[in-house]
Amino acid sequence: MNLKGFFYIALTLFLFSFDRLTKFFAVKILSVRSCDFFFIHFTLVKNLGGAWGIFSGQTYFFIFVGSIFLLSCIILWFKSPNLRISLSFLIAGVSSNLLDRVLGSHQVIDFIDIHILPVFNLSDVYIDIGILLLIFYNLNNSKKQDRL
């Protein structure tokens, strides 16, 4: 593996660790009181569902789908070096939320509330960035064989 490969592994580990750290502090601090920072309200929400709380209580479904998606991203990471930046974001986000579901009483820790969106966490942001980068790559890639 070359230096670029190690960079993407380090990026993935950094993103994952940073998300875990923010969730740790969210549970410790926001379980006592919520707080505001400019237009962002920080409040602790334990999400039993998917995005926006849909399919609440379907924990094993989300663990199964998340595991398959994570495994697919890891396989694709090795097969498509051009997609590694987007896959790094996806792997970090999905694995952290999956860890919440497996170890955290089947719930994902959400804590960022900007009032126009449902409460979310950094993993959700990472997943969104990863998907947007994949879309951008596919729209701008002229070679048909490299497209997803």
Known catalytic residue: 113?
Answer: no
* CA-based nearest residue to 8, from 146, 130, 132: 130
The catalytic position among 19, 100, 113, 124 is 124
Alpha helices in the chain, H assignment, sequence order: 3-30, 59-79, 84-103, 122-140
Residue 124 half-sphere exposure, CB side, CA atoms within 13 Å? 17
The catalytic position among 110, 113, 128, 146 is 110
Q: Are 88 and 15 in contact (CB under 8 A)?
A: yes
Known catalytic residue: 124?
Answer: yes
Which residues have a catalytic role annotated? 110, 124
